[in-house]
Chains A and B, each alone.
Chain A
């Protein structure tokens, strides 16, 4: 009893600390100064009065950074190197300032000289090395990065099975046990890989490829074993000048392969274009449109699977807002039209989603690494064109999907994180065959490279 109440107290303390950390991180952005700030103006004028006075220059540089005027800080610190070139701390700060501006060659020069001076070590060398490694990653002509995830998952409905009777040729029948909902444990493994080849263009154009792999093996319900490969690839560039110069376009090719129960479910391939439009500092709208062919393959588990073969057209919009450096909100909507070889498989679908992504200070071990919490919710409505005679000749299928998710990523070091995920999925459908709900909980380890 004592142990339980002590544990509860600790948990309450940790939850409170987490809430405070999140609140603090959300408030961070509110205190930013500007170059119109009287304190900044006074420091600027003091800097003009005492243009070679180190404390005055550092004070001005500090306020300039807070006001977002990184060039002002650079000007002040470079002046210090004209007074004395042997200042590794100043070189380090200049390197970081240029890095923050995206001027990686200038940053590299200062950081390497800071690291190599031999003074101020390791306080200078360690951060310099960290930034140099990141510069190396960002300036490679070809770069490959990504994240691997492995874990154990429990699902209250691993096979997305319906509850109660289902419809077959218009009659209510009791489904076989392997179709009814079944809870199960399983293992999941996933990878998200991004390849990028810098085309050397002034607009930073690059060929980008995103490859996702996903696999789940259930401990008992083998019919819910899945494997998925998803690829998006294409060149990204900014074809516009003037006010639209920051808009980027990415025409892309997409391909997908899905297998269920170790049997091919479908192949898909298509093409589209994505436009990324910065609408204000810290906010972007992404518009995507694509067409895709899905080639379903009949198999022993799904003998009429090929009836679903068809073409889809998708348009989607997403608005991403960086509320603070630690808090990002994403709102998205999409619209899909699917036309299959069998009209009963044709459908319209509309979806909306929202996600809140918060990074916050470690509330337990007070490490310097930020935890990440992602809350997400999405809803989708789908309406089919015609009844499926093999299911219910009198009723047209329609369904509403609801998904709520929570992901917590706790970094162990720069590469590894412990990940915990909880999700609830619910589908309401006009025909019982398609209705289900499921709670899932997953815990695992992710490795980012």
Chain B
């Protein structure tokens, strides 16, 4: 069945029989990550393996998996992780739906797709729950169940535990939570404080799309990717565009979605010349007067 058909049908199929519905696809793997759909045997996730609702995904020391859901939401599962895709409902006609994940341990990064623009993705951990609206978040769960949510981008990261909810809205904010305790207030990541994302990448020196992919050496893959990159126009619309300097758009304004291209400071400076000319005009008149009006 083509993915186009899947997209059209996923909403009704997932709701009618969620256990059997394909909700996404394994896009890249490293090592041998495992997937266990409900009522089926566990299997190694290979590139192109469909992911079903209620599927348990587990990884060991050197395993990683990248899963793309049918709305475009992407999940990178790091080493030593275990999570269940609890629920996925997506209506492509209205670009809305529900995604919930039960994360037991490990590290993952979620990059929101179409459904996260209109609703929260819900991630449950042993410490509590996290809600992500329209954004990117990294979640780490330790063996004790302690949870750390790092908000990289989006509308908000909402963390609920111990009867309290804490909200982060600023990219680069961190919220920590332990089982039975309330979440910490959001704190701003220190410089180079985002170390956990390194776990989500394949270690240097290894290349390959994962088990099950066509045999291809690392060097060939690299040249394929770099060749495709050189042929694309991607950098022309991205890295080759110089960054806006800080005075053109403050961090605050950038975060708040203010428009760019403020009037240059030169305009403010020329405004000052107008302000300064007013007392000159006043002096012109005042200097013709007697020292006190009552003398007149």
Known: A85-B201, A202-B186, A419-B266. A127 touches B240 (CB 8 A): yes
- The B14-32 residues at the A interface (CB cut-off 8 A) are 25-30
- Cβ-based interface call for B143 (8 A): no
- Cβ-based interface call for B238 (8 A): yes
**Cβ-neighbour of B288 out of A52, A131, A175 (below 8 A):** A175
B202 and A102 contacting across the interface, CB-CB below 8 Å: no
Q: For B112, what are the chain A residues with a Cβ–Cβ distance below 8 Å?
A: 71
A374 and B263 contacting across the interface, CB-CB below 8 Å: yes
| Binding-face segment, A6-14, A15-23, A162-170 | A162-170
Q: Residues 360-395 of chain A: 1 if any B CB is under 8 Å from the residue's CB, otherwise 0?
A: 000000001000101010000000000001110000
Q: How many residues of B contact A (CB 8 A)?
A: 121
- Cβ-based interface call for A330 (8 A): yes
Known: A83-B202, A102-B254, A302-B286. A325 touches B267 (CB 8 A): no
Q: How far is the CB of B133 from chain A (nearest CB, A)?
A: 12
B197 and A87 contacting across the interface, CB-CB below 8 Å: no
- The B174-220 residues at the A interface (CB cut-off 8 A) are 186, 188-189, 191-194, 197-198, 200-210, 213, 218
- Cβ-based interface call for B256 (8 A): yes
B204 and A86 contacting across the interface, CB-CB below 8 Å: yes
Q: How far is the CB of B44 from chain A (nearest CB, A)?
A: 15
A425 and B274 contacting across the interface, CB-CB below 8 Å: yes
Known: A49-B2, A278-B257. A304 touches B289 (CB 8 A): yes
A303 and B291 contacting across the interface, CB-CB below 8 Å: yes
- Cβ-based interface call for B136 (8 A): yes
- The B231-249 residues at the A interface (CB cut-off 8 A) are 231-235, 237-240, 242-247
B152 and A328 contacting across the interface, CB-CB below 8 Å: no
B243 and A134 contacting across the interface, CB-CB below 8 Å: yes
A45 and B7 contacting across the interface, CB-CB below 8 Å: yes
A448 and B265 contacting across the interface, CB-CB below 8 Å: yes
- Cβ-based interface call for A239 (8 A): no
**Cβ-neighbour of B269 out of A99, A169, A214 (below 8 A):** A214
Q: For B194, what are the chain A residues with a Cβ–Cβ distance below 8 Å?
A: 105-106, 108-109
Known: A149-B266, A284-B259, A308-B282. A82 touches B247 (CB 8 A): no
- Cβ-based interface call for B64 (8 A): yes
Q: How far is the CB of A308 from chain B (nearest CB, A)?
A: 7
Known: A93-B234, A103-B172, A147-B265. A52 touches B258 (CB 8 A): no
**Cβ-neighbour of A105 out of B193, B221, B252, B289 (below 8 A):** B193
Known: A49-B2, A71-B153, A357-B261. A230 touches B285 (CB 8 A): no
- The A157-181 residues at the B interface (CB cut-off 8 A) are 159-162, 166, 168-169, 173, 175-176, 179
Q: For B293, what are the chain A residues with a Cβ–Cβ distance below 8 Å?
A: 304, 307, 389-390
A391 to B282, CA, bound (A): 12
Known: A147-B266, A202-B167. A265 touches B237 (CB 8 A): no
- The B124-146 residues at the A interface (CB cut-off 8 A) are 135-136
B275 and A102 contacting across the interface, CB-CB below 8 Å: no
B264 and A98 contacting across the interface, CB-CB below 8 Å: no
A109 to B198, CA, bound (A): 9
**Cβ-neighbour of A390 out of B27, B272, B290 (below 8 A):** B290
Q: For B254, what are the chain A residues with a Cβ–Cβ distance below 8 Å?
A: 102, 138
Q: How far is the CB of A275 from chain B (nearest CB, A)?
A: 12
Q: List 23 A-B contacts (CB under 8 A).
A: A54-B229, A65-B234, A78-B66, A87-B226, A92-B239, A96-B238, A105-B171, A109-B192, A134-B246, A138-B246, A162-B284, A204-B255, A212-B268, A226-B279, A226-B280, A260-B280, A283-B259, A301-B287, A303-B289, A304-B293, A327-B261, A407-B266, A433-B285
